[in-house]
Structure 1
Amino acid sequence: MFGSRLRDLRNEKKLTQDDLGKMLNVSGKTIGAWERDSRQPNIEAINKIASIFNVSTDYLLGRPEKKEDDAKTADIEDLDKMIDNARSFGGKKMTENDREIIKAYLKGFYDNKNQGK
C-alpha cells in the first residue's frame, strides 16, 4: 500500500525517483525499493514524504482517513442512540413521538450550524 501511494504521489508531482531521492537524501534506487514495497522507509523519511506531498502519514501507511461526512454520520447515529435511550425528561415519560420531534429539531439545528462553517 505504501509503495503504490508513494509512486502515485511522485507521479502526480512529475518527479523522478532520483528527484525524490535527492529531496530525501537517499538514492533513486531506494525510492524504487520503497515503491515496490521491498524496503520500508524509516519514520523520519515517512514524515518528510508526508510534508513534501502534503498528505498525512496515515494516508501514506494505508489507513483510511475519516472524512468529514463520515464523522457527521457517526455523530447523528450517536445522537439517535442517545435520544432513543431517553425514557423520561423532567420526571415525565417521553413518548416515541417526543423522541422523533427532538431528533428532528437537533438534526436541523446542527445542519444549520454546520452550514455556517
Structure 2
Amino acid sequence: MNISSRIKYLRNEHHLTQKELAKMLNVKPTTISGWELGRNEPSIDTLKKLSSLFNVSTEYLIGGEDNSSNTIDLKTTDVLSYDGKPVSPEDLAIIRAILEKKK
C-alpha cells in the first residue's frame, strides 16, 4: 500500500471526511484529495501530524511496516484523537494539566 492509499484508508477507518481531516491539519480539503489521488504528498511536518493523529508511524504512512509503540508524548503533540474524533486544544490542555498534577 502506498502513501495515498494509507491516508485514505486511515481517514476512513477513523470515520473522517476529507473536510474534517483537512480542518484538523489546517489544510484545504482539495489538499487531502490530492494526497489520496497521488497527485502530491504531504510535507514531513504534516506526515508527523498524520502519524500522531492516526497513531501509526511515519514509516507506515509512507508504505512501510507499522512498528510504532503506540506511545504518544502529550507534551509535544498538538494533534490527538479519541475514538476517531479530534481532541480539542482546550481538552488537550486539561489532560496535560491533570497529568502535571499527578507528578
Q: Is TM > 0.5 for Structure 1 vs Structure 2? A: yes
Q: Unpaired segments of 5 or more residues in structure 1?
A: 67-117
The residue identity in structure 2 corresponding to 1:18 is K
TM-score, normalising length from structure 1?
A: 0.54
* Greater C-alpha Rg: 1
Moved segments of 4+, more than 4 Å: none
- The whole-number CA distance in structure 1 between the counterparts of 2:64 and 2:13 is 20
The equivalences for 1:34-73 within 5 A come to 34-65=35-66
Q: Unpaired segments of 5 or more residues in structure 2?
A: 68-103
TM-score, normalising length from structure 2?
A: 0.62
Identity of aligned residues (%): 47
Structure 1 residues 44 and 65, CA gap change in structure 2 (3 angstroms): same
Number of matched pairs:
66
Give 1:65 deviation, angstroms: 4.0
Higher RCO by CA contacts (8 Å cutoff, separation 6 or greater): 2
Q: String of CA shifts for 1:6-54, please: whole Å, max 9, x gaps.
A: 0000001110000000000001110000011101110000000000000
- Alpha-carbon RMSD across the aligned residues, in angstroms, is 1.0
